Structure 1
Amino acid sequence: MRHCCERAAGTLSNTNVNRWNQAWTTKEVSKELHTNVAKSLFKYALTAKNTFILALVMLAIGVAADLAGPFIARSMIDDHMLAIERPFFETNNPGGSETVKFDGRYFKRGDRFSDGEAKGNEARLIQAGTSFIFVEQSIADVTGKRSYQDGILTINKNGEIQQYPGQKLSSSELFAFYKPEVPGIIQLVGWYFVFLAISIIMEFGKTYWLQSSANKVIQKLRIDVYAHIQRLPVHFFDNLPAGKVVSRVTNDTEAVKDLFIAVLSNFFSGVINMIGVYVALFLLDFRLGLICLFVVPVIWAWVVLYRKFATKYNTIIRSRLSEINAIINESIQGMSIIRIFRREAQTKEEFENLNNDYMKHQNKMLNLNALTSHNLVNVIRSLSFAVVLWFFGSEQLSGAGIISLGVLYAFVDVLGRLFQPITGMVNQLAALDSSMVSAGRVFALMDEPGEEVTDGSMPRYKGNVEFKDVSFAYKRDYVLKNISFEAKQGQTVALVGHTGSGKSSIINLLFRFYDPQKGTITIDGQPIKELPKQWIRQHMGIVLQDPYLFTGTIASNVSLGDEHIPRERIEKALDDVGATRILAHLPKGLDEPVVEKGSTLSAGERQLISFARALAFDPAILILDEATANIDTETEALIQEALEVLKRGRTTFIIAHRLSTIRSADQILLLHRGEIVERGTHDELLAKGGRYYQMYRLQHGSGDPQASPTAPTAASSASALV
């Protein structure tokens, strides 16, 4: 298919397209990835900032509620379970749940006496092995190695021996001393379940609102990407395979969605959890907190080093995936050509080369992830535990500790919680880097300059077109040189010439796909540079040699979904171009389903629908780009009659290869190497005996040029005039 923008490959903009398409394998773009992409993602995140903030607040509350568990456990151990070794005093007040009856007397823990309440003799309960010893006197220091034999409690601390007479407690007597602790333990268990419920609710809310926010962001991102694609110049897509564009809109935006839902969720949770954990660590014991700070720089260096290699691999992986999508899309569309010319093996080899390269870099990422996976987290965690236990635990277990067992237990619990978010973040590093690369590709597409979209419309112009000394170059060499002609309303202007003579370039300029470097183009006397492109194109129509039909029905392909085109106009347009009789065999008539590109219809049927489309939109300027080339002789006769109706009152430009189709043109422009070398009517140009005369004889033989031509033969169709 020859597109009206077929010469776009040489434009400066397309040079940028190629550079953009290849730039993702360079270090330069990788550096920009860490700055511009993060800013763009943050900008999109602000579109759902309220729900994001709500999710983060719920996350912080959930973390605080979750971290309450170790503190409750510490209180349970230190204030109740091990607090039995605190001093007890005899009391004269036998009432209350906090009083213990032992040996006919009543005792209460020293920290539970109210102000002014009298304290009697002091007593202590000391654990020695698996037994508890009741000592009815004050003990200066209970730390050290303990033993009990023959009614004597011995405490050995660094060689200093203390001995106290004591009585071994039975199970029932020991339980009597523990009984006052039961209400406090039950209360703490209750609070634990309260905080657990809060944590569960906050986790649900955080997940829901975070994912809801991410879905809103991705929805807007996809809408913006697709809208921007609609604004990109037509020539942008000539050098960028459709599969690669589709990959940007689908695969890459889906990866960005994973960034918001999975990656950022884990990283937000991880960061807030780590902050909460360190706050808890310092609250438990300042020295232990300082020791565990070494984890932060290790993790930071780890992430930086990981991304240095991962970004490189992921850039290539995403690029290869895009190329795989492109080759699959191209192969499916050209499957008939591949089979006719028996190129299955070569196409398969090309696909396998891309797929193998994709797999090679995927394996590199797997190796990188294996080397820097959560196993390293386990190493750091084990090292942290070893340091804590070595520095503090050894003396605590020997009975000469400098922190309580409850603090040590809570600290180990909290320290274990520190590595849970770290493991989560580490496991998401691969997804983070892949998502950042994908986001960079999406935003690179959106950074491509698009055409300005101007709302509104303009009244239907008459269609008087004039080119005044127009010169145009895609790159350096001018492909049009000093083109001047005038097409008045209702006239038909035919453009003929060999391939590369500049026919399509004139149409490109008329549609304002490009603007000329020299000269001016006017419609009804107004320079088209002063008019919005959308307004100009609103009153233009085009029929291509190989028309494009969209998925839908015949009726929807005529109206293109324009609500201003009623059913009656669709039917009349099809009837006027003679399509009603040709399409009468279709079971559902105008509502017959049409698949992509109209592959279930014949070339003639597709062309008739394209003619009806142009007629239904009632353009002031009509371009026919070799519109009858794929139509048989009988259908062409109908089309020639329909063209007379179609061209009436419109300025019509015809790019023609079969000169027999332009005999009635008001003006024929023969182009050669970007210049108009001959102009006039069919008869005038034949009378000149110049290039046009020679071309006509080449197509129709050496007979009388004035004779009515017959349908072109196969030989004439293969002439040099392509």
Structure 2
Amino acid sequence: MAEKKTGKRLFQYALLYKRTILIALAMLTVAVAAELTGPFIAKKMIDDHMMGIETPWVEVENQGEKTVLYNGQYFKRESYVADGDVIADGKLQLVQVGRSFYETRESLSFDGERTVTGDILTVRQGANEATYLVERLNQEQLFAFYQPEIKPIISLLAFYVGLLVIAAFFQYGKSLLLQKAANRIIQKMRTDVFEHIQRVPISYFDNRPAGKIVARVTNDTEAIRELYVKVLATFFTSTIYMTGIFIALFFLDKKLALMTMIVVPIIILWMILYRKYASKYNHLIRTRNSDINGMINESIQGMPIIRAFRRKEHTSKEFETLNEEHFTYQNKLLSLNALTSHNLVFVLRNVAFVVLIWYFAGQSMTAAGIVSIGMLYAFVDYLNRLFQPVTDIVNQLAQLEQARVASERVFELLDEKGEEVNVEPLPRYEGNVRFNQVSFSYDGENDVLKNISFDARKGETVALVGHTGSGKSSIINLLFRYYDIERGQITIDGIDASTLPRQQLRKHMGIVLQDPFLFTGTIESNVSLDNPEISKRQIKAALQAVGANRFIEKLPNQYDEKVVEKGSTLSAGERQLISFARALAYDPAVLILDEATANIDTETEAMIQHALNIVKEGRTTFIIAHRLSTIRNADQILVLDRGEIVERGNHDELLAQKGKYFQMYQLQQGKKIAEVV
């Protein structure tokens, strides 16, 4: 069922460019038709012109086109005699025995084994035997009889060469169009996959390494590209070739053509059996390939830790284990291909030739042509041509299976439930946030938030503090609707957040993370994220508001300074300032600072605190902080412990309660005192 669904979806993608594909297939049909005329032309050359001189000749009175002068008489092939020719009484027939040609004034009544003794020709066919008086032809006489056939032979050869040129042109066009269509299909598929990744919920990425997802967007879609470029092109080409060859064989001999058609069910049966056994190996190979991508991605990102803790050897062994498993499964699949593909075609080819020999065995070859030399040549030529597409099909079965498995993985990602981007504008809300009895679990069993209730009004600063795992980040995740709740309610300006489109909800929110992420580009593009609605003036104003202009204006290209991936050429503080400016440039109604000052030096922190006092005016600000000194001025501090709010109030009120907040504050103060002393 899944296989049919995968095939149907691949076909639907192909239909997007059906015009190009149909033109390519039409060109392929013309090319095949042109190429497959070769054996017919060869048959005509052999039977009608090379062996045709053995047909009866009649004497004519006058010399003319296609006449031959022999012993003072003019002769013309009986098949060439026209209405205007005056026929005399003389007749002759040429007979080849070995490498020599003889002429006899009698017509052979039947054909069979030929022998010449002196000037007597003996023809034997089973119990029948006949003798004829013959005269041997010298080279000059023989050439004279061939002379009328030279021009038709040259014409046929020129015609065939012309057909080959036409076939080459159409084959080129077919290949170009099929590859163009295949590249367009994969371009569309990759776009669909990448866009869908933007729509799937954040929970999809929780247990999936980035490298494995990247493998689906790149490696798996590349395998599918090979399906359209090579596999399907080969199958289409081979099918049309085989169809053309069978049609030609039926023109030559229906009985033998029916015998050769046994190849078709054998190929279909072989494809079914091959896919059954190869499917398992291909699934394992693609899985290990994703594992390898995931590990490489993780190792590159964690390279400083690997080297700092001297885990290079251990990491290499883990990689080698995956690599060895990938190698093992690849070898098993290659062994399967090697043991079957070549052998199958070899056996089928030999069986076909045995059938051909058996069919023709015991039958004589007469000049009239029970089975002519040309017929035999054409059949052998077509049989040889028939097994080339058979070989191509069998050799592509491995690639077909790999593409099918890759398709399943890609469509599995595309089938993940996502949310369509809502482009309807949502007016900027005030930012009055309420959590009402909210409980949440990531796994559906263990609650990380339990009955969370609080109000955050417009212009207020709400701080979330607590030990690691207390639920601070989970509250922010729910506010952004990275996850949806099943118990309780979250409202913004009195509207249930679950009824608002995610994209429009987040449009009026800004966030600054502890570890800011910068994209490859410039400082300016990292602030606007290439949003055309944000002008250069707004970008510069945001950077100046957080004080980033102090270091930017010292750079060679200032705001157009290049930024590499993750902004590794900038300090942690500089990256964080750009991240702050990014949040402010979008003018959010709700601003979230997720431990945003944790990696910033004291001087930079003071600068940001000053900027924040200005920019958070009129905005609802949530601050997650471990350094309690940064939230002294918060309007409301929520102290969380194991998913519950255990204390709430402002800084002075919580200190007066001498509860958990007081203990955390004293602990941090104590550490600072110890450091100073």
| TM category, shorter | over 0.9
User: Distance in 2 between the 1:198 and 1:554 partners?
Assistant: 57
What one-letter code is carried by the residue in structure 1 that aligns with 2:577?
L
Preserved contact between residue 510 and residue 590 of structure 2 (Cα < 8 Å): yes
Which has the higher mean CA deviation after the structures are superposed, 476-485 or 430-439?
Answer: 476-485
Residue among 209, 216, 226 paired with 1:258: 226
Task: Give yes or no for the alignment of 1:109 onto 2:77.
Answer: yes
Pair 103,82 (structure 1): closer, same or farther in 2 beyond 3 Å: same
Is residue 499 of structure 1 aligned with residue 468 of structure 2?
yes
Task: Give 2:308's aligned residue.
Answer: 340
Q: Say whether residues 1:682 and 2:651 are aligned partners.
A: yes
Aligned pairs for 1:566-715 (under 5 A) are 566-701=535-670
Paired AA for residue 504 in structure 2: W
Match of residue 517 from structure 1: 486
- The alignment yields a C-alpha RMSD, in angstroms, of 2.2
* 1:715–1:541 CA distance, 2 compared to 1 (3 A): farther
Partner of 1:193: 161
Contact in 2 for aligned 1:463/1:524 (Cα 8 Å): yes
- 1:185 offset after TM fit, Å? 1.4
Q: Does 1:371 align with 2:339?
A: yes
- How far is the alpha carbon of 1:676 from its aligned partner? 2.0
Q: Are the aligned partners of 2:123 and 2:131 in contact in 1 as well (CA < 8 Å)?
A: yes
CA-CA distance at 1:72 after TM superposition:
0.2
Deviation at 1:52, TM superposition (A): 0.4
Q: CA deviation at 1:671?
A: 2.0
Alpha carbons of 1:578 and 1:150: their partners in 2 closer, same or farther (altered >3 Å)? Answer: closer
Residue-by-residue CA offset, 1:105-139 (whole Å, 9 max, x unaligned): 33222223345966544432222232222222333
* Distance change (3 Å), C-alpha of 1:211 and 1:659: same
What percent identity do the matched residue pairs reach? 57
Q: What secondary structure, in the 3-state scheme, does the structure 1 residue paired with 2:592 have? A: strand
* Aligned twin of 1:467: 435
Partner of 2:170: 202
* Unaligned stretches of 5+ residues in structure 1: 1-30, 702-709, 717-722
**Counterparts of residues 172-191 of structure 1 (less than 5 Å):** 172-191=140-159
**1:393–1:401 CA contact under 8 A, matched in 2:** no
1:167 corresponds to which residue?
135
Q: Which residue of 2 aligns with 1:488?
A: 457
- Measure how far apart 1:422 and its partner are: 1.4
Aligned to 2:35: 66
Work out whether residues 224 and 404 of structure 2, in 8 Å CA contact, stay in contact via their aligned partners in 1: yes
1:445 counterpart SS class: helix
What is the one-letter code of the residue matched to 2:291?
A: E
CA contact 1:157–1:400 (8 Å) conserved in 2: no
Separation (CA, whole Å) in 2 of partners of 1:480 and 1:89: 109
Secondary structure in structure 2 of the residue aligned to 1:578: coil
1:290-322 CA distance string (max 9 Å, x none): 221222222222222222222211111111111
Tell me the amino acid that sits aligned with residue 110 of structure 1: E
Residue 330 of structure 2 aligns to which amino acid in structure 1?
Answer: Q
Give yes or no for contact 2:553–2:559 (8 Å, CA) kept in 1.
Answer: no
State the one-letter code of the partner of 1:349: K
TM-score (normalised: structure 2): 0.95
Matched residue, 1:432: 400
Moved more, 159-168 or 339-348: 159-168
**Which one of the candidate residues 48, 51, 57 is aligned to 2:20?**
51
SS at match of 2:428: coil
Aligned in 2, Cα 1:264/1:712: closer, same or farther, shift over 3 Å?
Answer: farther
Bigger Cα displacement from structure 2, 681-690 vs 341-350: 681-690
Report how far residue 333 of structure 1 moved: 0.9
Question: What amino acid maps onto 2:634 in structure 1?
Answer: A
* 1:646-675 Cα shifts (integer Å, max 9, x gaps): 211100011122222111111111222322
Give the aligned residue type for 1:200. Answer: A
Equivalent residue for 1:131?
100
TM-score normalised by length of structure 1: 0.90
Mapped to 2, the partners of 1:358 and 1:152 lie a distance apart of: 75
Distance 1:480 1:604 in 2: 32
SS of 2:262's partner is: helix
Amino acid at match of 1:89: V
1:144-543 to structure 2, matched below 5 A, reads: 144-392=112-360, 395-396=363-364, 402-474=370-442, 475-543=444-512
1:166 and 1:344 mapped to 2: Cα distance? 92
Paired position in structure 2 for 1:42: 11
Q: Tell me which amino acid in the other structure corresponds to 2:493.
A: D
**Residues 526-569 of structure 1: CA deviation (Å, up to 9, x unaligned):** 21222111111001000111111111122221121122222222
Q: Are the aligned partners of 1:545 and 1:626 in contact in 2 as well (CA < 8 Å)?
A: yes
Distance in structure 1 (CA, Å) of the matches to 2:157 and 2:562: 67
- Provide the rounded CA distance (Å) in 2 between the counterparts of 1:397 and 1:283: 19
Spell out, residue by residue over 1:462-519, the C-alpha distance to the aligned partner (whole angstroms, 9 max, x if none): 1111122222222123332332221111001111222232222211111111222122
In the alignment, the residues of structure 1 paired with residue 549 and residue 674 of structure 2 have an alpha-carbon distance, to the nearest angstrom, of: 28
Deviation (angstroms), 1:99: 2.4
Where 1:166 maps in the other structure, the secondary structure is strand
Contact map agreement 2:55 2:367 (CA 8 A) in 1? no
Asked whether the 8 Å contact 2:14–2:185 carries over to 1, the reply is yes
Aligned partners of 2:653, 2:551: CA distance in 1, in Å? 37
What is the rounded CA distance, in whole Å, between the counterparts of 1:146 and 1:519 in structure 2? 104
CA deviation after TM superposition for structure 1 residue 415, in Å: 0.6
Mean Cα deviation higher: 564-573 or 345-354: 564-573
Structure 2 regions of 5+ residues with no counterpart? none
One-letter amino acid of the structure 2 residue matched with residue 259 of structure 1? L
Alpha-carbon distance between aligned partners in 2 of 1:114 and 1:613, rounded to the nearest angstrom = 95
**Number of matched residues?**
675
Give the corresponding residue for 2:47: 78
